[in-house]
């Protein structure tokens, strides 16, 4: 195993680092390379608008539980702000700020006419009854609605939220403002959602993986992939990789993990997870814990769940993979990122790899505004075109300037946003 005692620049803070810190440092590196003025850097660093609300929920036992809810609109220079709403115990204001900034860069990189935003509530949705989750979502919507709108800020699902949560949001918002399907994306198809939105992030990861595999001359059919997370992103990606003949050898979720060197039977794994609530104890595999997961030999390592999981302290020296594909937001800390670069392991960065959800959200929004529906084939084709174009742009920039894919992606994105800020003036 290579050493990890690298010359890490002194301006990279000691670990552990949170998502907000990761997003800040990644932006700082790009801003410096671009030679942005201090004032422009400030403009792009500071969130445009933040809304923090108290969300009281009448619980099933008659008590009232209090939550805090956040919506951060990071930058809207390129259009209405866009980004998901996360329900997870780790959510705090700084994390939402960081995730909102990532959305600004993601939408710019994919050339979507949006800025970036994110919302979040520190809550474990698994602990709530369905009607409690509905009340939470409605109250949060009611108290943030002033800042939302089809041409202002458009939420979508993220970790811990889904199409049903978006349906409640849509209903609550429309009840006050009139029918407004374009105020939220990732809705159920029967409420104006787009075909192909549910699989879009996983499919986008697959497309960038295929492009990167070709670029770096990595094997494809029969190659081995490990995925952390079996939710909306990891679950769809596993299915698509399996269909492609890529062996999904290891999968973990919040409750456990499974390993099968020959490749897991992904459809059977889905059935098992749907039935039991987790991939753990899938019969045709060996059990795998988190420590073991990061050390499984594979070609493609895909973090598709939490942020800040590939770190110097925990695992980066032991990763036994040929490429990291960031399906999650901010899964790699800056020091771990540097170490991967030194080890010659390319990282396909989050703002590129996982942008498929945002891309099809954009398709959904345009369909809503025009009151029409695209066929699934049209959605998939348009998604592929967008993802491939963005990948090529990033790969070319990286090659030309001898920089990592991440730095290249940030250069493109930050430059685009800085240009629109400049044009808008003061």
Catalytic hit among 82, 118, 187, 338: 118
Does residue 119 interact with ligand GLU by CB under 6 A? Answer: no
Q: 357, 363, 395, 414: which one contacts ligand GLU (CB under 6 A)? A: 357
Report the greatest alpha carbon distance in the chain: 62
Per the omega criterion (within 30 degrees of 0), is the bond before 286 cis?
A: no
Identify which of residues 242 and 384 has a Cβ nearer to ligand GLU in the complex.
384
Task: Choose the binding region for ligand GLU from 2-10, 79-87, 163-171, 205-213 (rule: CB under 6 A).
Answer: 79-87
List % helix, strand, coil for the chain (3-state, nearest 5).
50, 15, 35
Sheet holding 323-325, edge to edge: 286-287, 256-259, 247-253, 224-228, 300-303, 323-325, 347-348
β-strands 323-325, 347-348 pairing: parallel
Tell me the closest approach of the beta carbon of residue 311 to ligand GLU, in angstroms: 21
Which residue lies nearer to ligand GLU by CB, 120 or 346?
120
Active site residue 106: no
d(CA 160, CA 87): 5
Stretch that binds ligand GLU, among 125-133, 171-179, 351-359, 384-392 (CB under 6 A): 351-359
Residues 301-330 that bind ligand GLU (CB under 6 A): 329
User: Among 133, 305, 358, 379, which residue interacts with ligand GLU (rule: CB under 6 A)?
Assistant: 358
Which member of 26, 260, 361, 404 binds ligand GLU (CB under 6 A)? 361
92, 164 Cβ separation under 8 angstroms:
no
Residues 142-201 that bind ligand GLU (CB under 6 A): 156, 158, 185-186
Which residue, among 69, 47, 211, 91, has the nearest Cα to 145 in the 3D structure? 69
Classify 316 in phi/psi space as left (phi over 0), alpha (psi -120 to 50) or beta: alpha
Q: 328-347: which residues touch ligand GLU (CB under 6 A)?
A: 329
CB of 121 to ligand GLU, least distance (A): 14
Could you list the residues that contact ligand GLU (CB under 6 A)?
82-84, 156, 158, 185-186, 329, 354, 357-358, 361
Write out the catalytic residue numbers: 118
């Amino acid at each position: 195993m290579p050493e990890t005692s690298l010359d890490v620049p002194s301006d990279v803070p000691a670990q552990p680092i949170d998502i907000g810190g990761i997003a800040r440092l990644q932006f700082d590196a790009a801003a410096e390379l671009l030679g942005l003025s201090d004032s422009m850097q400030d403009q792009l660093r500071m969130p445009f608008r933040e809304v923090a609300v108290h969300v009281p929920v009448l619980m099933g036992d008659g008590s009232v539980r209090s939550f805090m809810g956040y919506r951060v609109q990071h930058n809207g220079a390129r259009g209405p702000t866009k980004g998901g709403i996360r329900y997870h115990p780790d959510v705090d204001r700084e994390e939402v700020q960081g995730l909102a900034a990532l959305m600004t860069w993601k939408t710019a990189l994919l050339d979507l006419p949006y800025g970036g935003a994110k919302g979040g509530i520190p809550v474990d949705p698994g602990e709530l009854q369905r009607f409690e989750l509905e009340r939470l979502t409605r109250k949060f919507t009611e108290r943030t609605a002033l800042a939302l709108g089809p041409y202002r800020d458009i939420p979508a699902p993220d970790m811990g939220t889904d199409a049903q949560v978006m349906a409640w949001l849509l209903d609550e918002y429309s009840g006050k403002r009139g029918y407004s399907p374009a105020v939220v994306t990732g809705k159920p198809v029967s409420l104006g959602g787009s075909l192909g939105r549910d699989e879009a992030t996983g499919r986008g990861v697959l497309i960038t993986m295929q492009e990167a595999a070709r670029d770096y001359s990595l094997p494809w059919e029969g190659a081995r992939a490990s995925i952390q997370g079996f939710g909306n992103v990891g679950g769809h990606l596993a299915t698509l990789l399996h269909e492609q003949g890529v062996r999904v050898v290891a999968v973990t979720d919040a409750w456990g993990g499974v390993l099968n060197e020959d490749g897991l039977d992904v459809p059977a794994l889905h059935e098992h997870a749907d039935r039991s609530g987790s991939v753990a104890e899938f019969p045709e595999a060996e059990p795998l814990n988190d420590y073991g997961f990061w050390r499984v030999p594979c070609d493609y390592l895909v973090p598709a769940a939490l942020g800040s999981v590939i770190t110097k302290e925990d695992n980066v020296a032991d990763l036994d993979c040929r490429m990291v594909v960031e399906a999650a937001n901010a899964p790699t800390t800056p020091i771990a990122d540097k170490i991967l670069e030194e080890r010659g392991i390319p990282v396909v960065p989050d703002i590129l790899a996982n942008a498929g959800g945002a891309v099809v959200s954009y398709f959904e929004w345009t369909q809503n505004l025009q009151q029409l529906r695209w066929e699934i084939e049209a959605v998939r084709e348009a998604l592929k075109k967008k993802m491939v174009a963005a990948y090529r742009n990033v790969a070319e920039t990286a090659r030309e300037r001898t920089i990592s894919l991440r730095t290249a992606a940030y250069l493109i994105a930050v430059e685009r946003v800085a240009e629109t800020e400049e044009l808008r003036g003061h």
